[in-house]
Amino acid sequence: MAGISLMKNKLEAYKCYANEALHFKLVRHESDLEDDRTTFHPDMTHQLFGDQESIFGYKDLEIQLYYSAAKLTTYLHIKYFDKVSPKRFEGVSADDVIKILAKEMPPGYYTNLDNFVAALPKDANFKPFGDLLHSYTVYKDGKDRKFEIYKISIDCPGFRDYHERLQTFLLFFVDAASFIDVDDDKWSFYLVFEKYRDNGNRMYAIVGYMTVYNYYAYPEKVRPRVSQVLIMPPFQRQGHGAQLLQTFYNECYKRNDILDITVEDPSENFQRLRDFVDAKNCSKLESFQPRHLHNGFSDEMMKEAQEKLKLSRKQARRVYEILRFKVTDPSNIKQYRKYRLDIKKRLNLPFQKNGRDFQKLQRALHPDELNATLSCMSIEQRHCYLEKAFEEHVEMCRHVIERLAESVD
């Protein structure tokens, strides 16, 4: 027993946290390879390395997953100080990290750094796929940086292979991500690139992308659903997500065949982005002006938001609540109480219909507070849930309103 315990303690030293071990780079120059400032780490690795996001069998493990900034030419390599081997550790083997990663990556990646470096100059020949929809600038690092957004279909020459490399990032930055069936022609792709000059050459670097699936809506309409959205970590919190979503919106506004726009299981961060863009747009509509907001959510709001902005009823209502909170004075007891009651009335609907919000209630309440059905919930438990849900709603509104205050048209 003592020997087993000793071996177990010895092996513990060979466990490492995958999120820290994995080093990404979007490489523009060879010098980026030695620059720690160009390195970023994944948000998650559980989709490859399990719920514990742990890798076994190495000391000081570093997984290098580098992409050229434009063509996404890929380099994969691991290095470590020490590794578990069956001969040294009584038949115990280390995780095959390369095999695990390679399973999710398209073929053709480099494992030799010199070969990867030799391929970097080919990025100068890269031109974005598809049609240019929008150009904009962002002031960053003491200068105006230029960005462009393109719309692409999967049959664009060369894009299928490019997309295979691009979508590998989803596994590390989008929870519950899955690779899409690109053979379905209902998919549309929107890509953001930075455009810059290097030694006189016009160059591009990938910033992020979005996929949209165009569902059929009876009898002759289309209902686009935003599926995957990713802005690369070096470009986050610079407004690119809002630019990307608004560019997609602008294209939808022109089309009479679009009923409304939906989003597939949005993350909290994307929902905040969507709320910000939609609230900014709705604030310009007549029915969403402050003088109308205190009267409650109206058919006029729903109709105008759908006809002019292609918003669903659910999202239009959500935006109304945000904008109404914006014009509600917390020191005005009567006004704030009226707003509170309006929101709680909506939050109370699941108790009345025992509908799809049941899972949300399960997450919000302690298991022993939640009985088999909502109808069994006591009045005290219901009030507890409503109060907690209202506080979360107010916090969400404040985040969006703060960003609205910072934004400039």
Three-state secondary structure of 190-250: EEEEEEEEECCEEEEEEEEEEEEEEEEECCCEEEEEEEEEEECHHHCCCCHHHHHHHHHHH
Residue span(s) of the chain under CATH 3.40.630.30 come to 127-265
Q: What is the pLDDT of residues 370-388, one digit of tens each?
A: 544 455 667 788 888 889 9
CATH 1.10.10.390 residue window(s) in the chain: 266-409
Q: How confident is the model at residue 141 (pLDDT cuts 50, 70, 90)?
A: confident
Q: pLDDT tens for residues 327-347?
A: 999 999 999 999 999 999 998
* Segment 179-192 mean pLDDT: 92
**Cα distance between residue 228 and residue 212, in whole Å:** 7
Q: What is the mean pLDDT of the chain?
A: 91
pLDDT at position 365 is 63
Query: Per-residue pLDDT tens for 225-267?
Result: 999 999 999 999 999 999 999 999 999 999 999 999 999 988 8
Fold of 2-124: Histone Acetyltransferase; domain 1 (3.90.360)
> Helix 333-347 and helix 379-406: axis angle, to 10°?
110
CATH 3.90.360.10 residue ranges in the chain? 2-124
CATH for the stretch 127-265? 3.40.630.30
For a pLDDT cut of 70, what percent of the chain falls above it?
91
Which residues, 6+ apart, have CB-to-CB distance to 150 below 8 Å? 128, 129, 130, 131, 132, 133, 190, 191, 193
CATH of domain 266-409: 1.10.10.390
Look at strands 62-68 and 22-27 and give their pairing: parallel
pLDDT in tens, 40-78: 999 999 999 999 999 999 999 999 999 999 999 999 999
* 264 assigned to active site: yes
Active-site residue, selected from the candidate residues 30, 90, 264, 392: 264
Distance CA 62, CA 21 (A): 5
- 3-class DSSP state for residue 156? coil
C-alpha separations of 190 from 13, 206, 262 in Å: 44, 11, 16
177-188 average pLDDT score: 89
Residue 393 and residue 15: Cα distance in Å, rounded?
40
